[in-house]
Amino acid sequence: MKPIRRVLRDESGSILVAVSLLAIVMLIVVLSIFEFASGDSSLAARRTEHSRALYLAESGLARAHTWLEAQYDPPPGISEIAPFGASPETLDMGTYTVSIVPDVGNPAAARKIYTIRCTGVSGSDSRMLERVVTTHSYAQFIYFTEEEHPPGTTRPVWFCSADMLDGSLHTNGQIHVLGDPHFAGHVSSAYGGPDDSDASHTPAFMYYNGSRYNNIESSAPSNAPYDEPVFDDGYELGTSDIELPSYVDDLITLATEDGLTISGDVEIVLSRDPGDGHMYGYVSYRDLSGGEWIDVELSSFNGVMYVSGEIEVSGVLDGTLTIATGGNVHIVDDVLYRASDANGPSEDCDDILGLVSESNVIVDYNTANENDCVIHAHIMALGTSFEVEGYSSGSPRGTLTVHGGIIQRYRGCVGTGYLSGDEIIICSGFAKSYNYDPRFENVQPPGYFMTGRYYKRAWRELACG
């Protein structure tokens, strides 16, 4: 019996060891699971703080951008600006600190550049973002209107199948689409937006819908099969207004200080030919009733010319010039750049013209404009419209070609016609060919107006020190 008892004792001891080992293993597993869960929770917390720090940095950038646009003039000098003070701004999830650094070239530059930096801090994590912005000029639009109808009427003017606009377009009114116009640049409309005082307006296009009796509103990008516009760079509806200036006071100041000021109604010829060759690099003027020409070298003043009355303009510009007037601008013949050809400004062109009126810019109905008219300029009709005299009478007059851009308070008419398939048949006035001058993305006519907006040029995340 003794051997049997010995065996039982051996088995009991083995069982005890096995149970102990199992308990130890289970304890290790439980501790490992607890440690893993704790580590996973800590990792999730770090990821949350990392995301929150980015959100805080983005919020600070956006607020600083808005602060810049709220200033009456771009901040002067090159010293760093703390728009909300040196202390961090606090939100529920953390803090952010913002600085705005003006570019060293700003004092002499027409368009100002600023670098906005913001560091967001959430818990133990921080992230720094940087955005480079520059002031935005009206010259960066190929087309801009306050209202998309002629003055004194609510009758819409339509973008039609024959229209191709290769630059940015903005209107504070509603965009009317008939057929298949092509918008190569970004399109925006403030109709129904936060600054629209008419509560009945909602962000939408007006589509012709096959008949003037069937027009419909829609925010959709097309209205097949009748109206199918092309938006190469997208569109925005219901944006904020961009305020159009009404007066040329700032240009008057520039003309008075170091420019050229003229009283009365005058005829202006660029690079006049007195009989022995063009006077390139000059602007010439005389009273509309006749008299002696006064020839002024463009390099002798700051490039801003103000006339108190009506002006007639034609010729070939060799240089940079802005002509502003309190009256109407009359285009009496082609207005061209010297460095240009049949396709517009050449690649090496450094000629730049701005035509700014507190009233209208009018293409006159005369012999010179009976068969085509070509204008190389950026045009602003602050009071009323860019329009064609006698647009609804007579025979078709060819094509009105603009290389630059057109800014106007109310949309002026340049011709009449009807849609036949995808083709516009001109009955009177001009067909139009409006072409953006891409140089205006970076330069502008002397003294030109800014929109008050800031254009985003670059964005990046920086390593926090």
**Residues 428/392, Cβ–Cβ less than 8 Å:** yes
Q: Are residues 302 and 437 in the same domain?
A: yes
Joined tokens for residue 458:
């670059």
The DSSP result for 278-305, as a single string, is --TTEEEEEETT----EEEEGGGS-SEE
Predicted pLDDT of residue 420:
79
Q: Are residues 119 and 35 in the same domain?
A: yes
Domain contains 23? yes
Q: Are residues 82 and 154 in the same domain?
A: no
Q: Are residues 157 and 47 in the same domain?
A: no
**Is residue 130 helix, strand or coil?**
strand
Domain contains 26? yes
Question: One-letter amino acid identity for 242?
Answer: I
Distance, CA of 69 to chain centre:
14
Predicted pLDDT of residue 464:
82
Predicted pLDDT of residue 1:
41
Domain contains 383? yes
Q: Are residues 15 and 105 in the same domain?
A: yes
Chunked into runs of 10 residues, the chain (465 residues) has average pLDDT values of 43 57 59 54 78 92 93 91 90 91 91 94 92 95 96 91 93 96 96 96 96 94 96 96 95 97 97 95 96 97 97 98 98 98 95 98 97 98 97 95 97 88 86 94 93 91 84
Predicted pLDDT of residue 197:
94
Q: Are residues 164 and 33 in the same domain?
A: no
Predicted pLDDT of residue 8:
39
Joined tokens for residue 282:
């000059």
Domain contains 188? no
Q: Are residues 159 and 27 in the same domain?
A: no
Angle at 236 between CA 233 and CA 238, to 5 degrees: 170
pTM of the prediction? 0.84
CB atoms within 10 A of CB 361: 28
Residue with tokens 């949309």: 411
Domain count, the chain: 2
What does residue 118 show for φ and ψ, rounded to 5 degrees? -140, 130
Domain contains 49? yes
Q: Are residues 80 and 156 in the same domain?
A: no
**Smallest Cα–Cα separation from 244: which of 435, 67, 383?**
383
- Rounded CA-CA distance 182/188 in Å is 14
Q: Are residues 26 and 163 in the same domain?
A: no
Q: Where are the beta strands (DSSP E) in 161-228?
A: 164-165, 168-171, 176-178, 182-183, 187-189, 205-207, 216-218
Predicted pLDDT of residue 281:
97
Residue with tokens 């995808």: 422
Q: Are residues 101 and 166 in the same domain?
A: no
Joined tokens for residue 117:
């930096």
* Beta carbons within 8 Å of 308's beta carbon, 6+ residues apart: 261, 262, 263, 264, 325, 326, 327
Q: Are residues 74 and 151 in the same domain?
A: no
Q: State the residue range of the domain holding 85.
A: 2-123
Domain contains 24? yes
**Smallest Cα–Cα separation from 365: which of 339, 330, 319?**
330
Question: One-letter amino acid identity for 307?
Answer: V
Distance, CA of 29 to chain centre:
62
Q: Are residues 254 and 374 in the same domain?
A: yes
Domain end marker among 123, 153, 187: 123
Domain contains 113? yes
Domain end marker among 123, 152, 183: 123
- Rounded CA-CA distance 398/448 in Å is 31
Domain contains 382? yes
* Beta carbons within 8 Å of 182's beta carbon, 6+ residues apart: 163, 164, 165, 229, 230, 232
